[in-house]
Homo-oligomer: A and B are copies of this chain.
Amino acid sequence: MDEVSTASGRPPRRRRKEARPAELIRAGLEEFALHGFAGTRLEDVARRAGVVKGTIYRYFTDKEALFLAAVRLEVAPVLSQITGFIDTYPGTTRDLLKLIIETVHRQLVNSDLRVLIRIIIAEGERFPALTELYYAETISKGRALLERVVERGIARGEIREGAAARLPLVLIAPALMAAIWRMTFDRHASISSEDFLAAHIDLVFHGVLTGDERDWSVTRAL
């Protein structure tokens, strides 16, 4: 289990003041995502981090403190990437949108961050402060970002005004579905990341109706 071990068979104590909290947080995040707050045993978190239960209490006052620290740490890495190229993007809004959607799939859906979604959904009721934090730090910024993209698209005549444009959030709904699918039904019916991404982009770009079926007058009224 350890690369270093003593003759007594028990791994030697390690002193890693700086590294510990981060290791514990990561271990905690994984356990919390798997079992929820109430269902997670600190013993398991400790084992996963390679320490003993009591050690956790050197760094966190209690289970909740660890939980909050874990969830908070993972805030906003996705957004920071996207925010970077949003304003200076030289190409079409179409391409920008595609880039954003791809980034979201790569950074959120297909990464460990996915578990954050589960935690927020599962524990939001018990930790309102958590959802608030998340809304303020991540979601609201993400919404603003999407709104800027849509505005830009409309201004440039690349994006159509309408109900969807008025709630740009829905533009990433398929990514949310992909993340959830991966955590739930994927083992029973696997869907590849590529298929999800392609369907996502296709839907967002064109919808599914053929040109003939489009009834703009009705739709616009929605």
Let me know if A36 and B209 touch, CB within 8 A: no
Q: Name A158's closest neighbour in chain B (CB-CB).
A: B213
Q: Are B121 and A184 in contact (CB under 8 A)?
A: yes
Contact pattern, A 169-190, Cβ under 8 Å of B = 1, otherwise 0: 1110110110011011101110
B160:A126 contact, CB within 8 angstroms: no
8 A Cβ contacts from A189-204 to B: 189, 191, 195-204
A173 touches B173 (CB 8 A): yes
Partner of A208, one of B143, B165, B196, B215: B165
Is A60 engaged at the interface, CB distance under 8 Å to the other chain? no
- When distances are taken between beta carbons in the complex, the residues of chain B under 8 Å from A36 are 36-39, 122-123
Contact with B along A107-135 (1 / 0, CB 8 A): 00000000000101111111010011011
Cα–Cα, bound, A39→B181 (Å): 24
Taking a contact as CB atoms under 8 Å apart, the answer to whether B208 and A150 are in contact is yes
Number of A positions contacting B (CB below 8 A): 77
Set B123, B135, B164, B184: member contacting A189, Cβ < 8 A: B135
Q: A39-B39, A205-B208 are in contact. Are A125 and B183 (CB under 8 A)?
A: yes
**Known: A195-B163, A199-B166. Is A209-B158 also a contact (CB below 8 A)?**
yes
Q: Is A16 an interface residue (CB 8 A)?
A: no
**A219 located at the interface, meaning its Cβ lies under 8 Å from any Cβ of chain B in the complex:** yes
Closest to A191 in B: B167
Is the Cβ of A153 less than 8 Å from the Cβ of B208?
Answer: yes
Quick one: given A166-B195, A209-B158, are A124 and B174 in contact (CB under 8 Å)? no
**Given the complex of chains A and B, what is the CA–CA distance between A189 and B138 in angstroms?**
13
16 CB < 8 A contacts A-B: A34-B126, A39-B126, A121-B122, A122-B122, A128-B187, A131-B187, A158-B213, A159-B213, A162-B202, A163-B195, A163-B203, A169-B191, A170-B196, A170-B200, A173-B173, A205-B209
